[in-house]
Amino acid sequence: MEDTQRLVHLDLKGAPPKVTYFEKIFPLMKKWGATGLLIEYEDMFPYWGDITDIASEFAYSKECIASILQLAEDNGLSVIPLVQSIGHFEFVLKLEKFRSLREVPNYPMALCPSNSDSLLAVCMMIDQVIELHPGIRSFHIGADEVYHLGVCERCKIRMLEENLTPQQLFLLHIKAVLDHIKENYPNISCIMWDDMLRHTELPLLINSSLGDLVEPMVWHYLTSFRLPPDIWDKYSKVFPNIWIASAFKGATGANVYATNIAYHVDNHTMWLNVMAKERSKFKKVQGCALTGWQRYDHYAVLCELLPQALPSLGVCLLTLQQGIFSAEIHATVSRDLNFVSLLPLNPYQRGPIPPCQFPGSEIYCAMLAFLQLDATYEELVHDERVMTWMNDYMIERKFSNPVHIEPILAQSSLILESLTKIHPQIEGALREVFYNNAVEEWLKVFVEPKIKKISDIVEKAKSQLSNT
């Protein structure tokens, strides 16, 4: 896919890297074949005026946005901003000020498409993002995974009066968003995620008039093809141009923190095979966005961080550019990131972590070391010895045999020592790239609960032994 665009998706939800980190990694992205960035700010954009509350206290400043755009330009990377327009709207709908826009009163996920203020809020957000991105040629309106449609009273009344289905409510709202962009920014083309269109009947899709307004981005992160078999024929009858979206991280588990590169190589290989077969049905396959999700949604914990997944990004970009994964690609990315030997493609296969040096390599090495330590921790916590001879009932009765407790104490003490030692290592590495809120979250979610749990085992083991 050498003649198409390759966009690196930057998911900034709640934990944006420092701008100085982008300065270090944009040249690598360019070297590996990236042509642009798909930037999903969510609440990290500095909204102002009537929607200033949407911006997180940790949001980038306008000056930061300008710096990112300049760095992208310096490295020949185009920028496509992404603003969600109906679903995944938690970062807005969690606020009391915007609660009335919810489709389901208790769920801050989807906008009500029948509330005129919903469109107003979305358009205000789009206008502000475009204002701070002068000269952009494309804009992404999100629109994926809208789990609640046509369920509020306002929508039910509208569907009855206008003889509409929930799917038509979605299409009408999306068209209104796209019309706003077309009328006010005629030189900007629009993109949307495709999943809400996949099962839409062809006549309905044709009558929606979306074919002239937007290019769908077909996303699929698995290693085998599981999309509707008629998807390409149907889309080709409506949309002249399409995009695809793969993943280089953040697609194998909501709380996974280490990237299985081999899995994502297989995903890209799958996409290359599919596109070789299907691309002739379209005027153009515009390109591929390599998604790198940082959270599964606004309320989810952080998953794989960008510095940890930089080796995966390099391998996937070059695979996409060259049309095949090869030993040469593996060796090239290993050299670019200064690995003393070939970088591991699957960190879940235990083994030594090769020394390396690249922007964020301290995070990479710390995460892989923690992964191995985490596995040892889980083995002990779920060890039948602990469940049998150190369960709460035995501890309450002070009923124990030292021959079983002593090995548990020895092993748990070693794990506690290792966890206590790696905590400041991870903290220091994270602070080089991320702001304090992201550092605190990662440690409190992934490290500190394990320290607390293993400390409890150590103390109970010592107490048991003192009673024998």
Query: Average pLDDT of each block of 10 consecutive residues along the chain (468 residues)?
Result: 86 93 98 98 97 96 98 98 97 97 97 97 98 97 96 97 97 98 98 97 96 97 93 98 98 96 98 96 97 96 97 98 97 98 94 94 97 96 88 82 89 97 98 96 98 94 82
For residue 189, give both structure tokens: 């083309």
Determine contact, residues 50/122, Cβ cutoff 8 Å. Answer: no
In sequence order, what are the residues at sequence separation of 6 or more whose Cβ sits closer than 8 angstroms to the Cβ of residue 129? 41, 45, 81, 83, 139
Q: Which class for 372: exposed (0-12), middle (13-18), buried (19 or more C-beta within 10 A)?
A: middle
Strands (DSSP E) found in 13-75? 36-40
The pLDDT value given to residue 309: 98
Apex CA 462: angle with CA 459 and CA 466, to 5°? Answer: 135
Question: Whole-angstrom distance between the N-terminal and C-terminal Cα of the chain?
Answer: 69
Angstrom distance (rounded) from CA 307 to CA 249: 11
Secondary structure (3-state) at 109? strand
Residue 124: CB atoms within 10 A of its CB come to 15
Write the CATH number of the domain with boundaries 5-336: 3.20.20.80
Residue 133 DSSP code: S
Has 42 been annotated as catalytic? no
Determine contact, residues 53/91, Cβ cutoff 8 Å. Answer: no
CA atoms within a 13 Å half-sphere pointing along the CA-CB vector of 5: 24
Residue 96 DSSP code: G
**Exactly one of 73, 90, 131, 145 is catalytic; which is it?**
145
Angstrom distance (rounded) from CA 63 to CA 202: 45
* Greatest extent of the chain over all pairs of C-alpha atoms, in Å: 81
* Helix axis angle, 310-322 to 327-336, nearest 10°: 140
C-alpha closest to that of 281 among 323, 245, 238: 238
Rg of the Cα trace of the chain?
A: 25
Residue 84 DSSP code: -
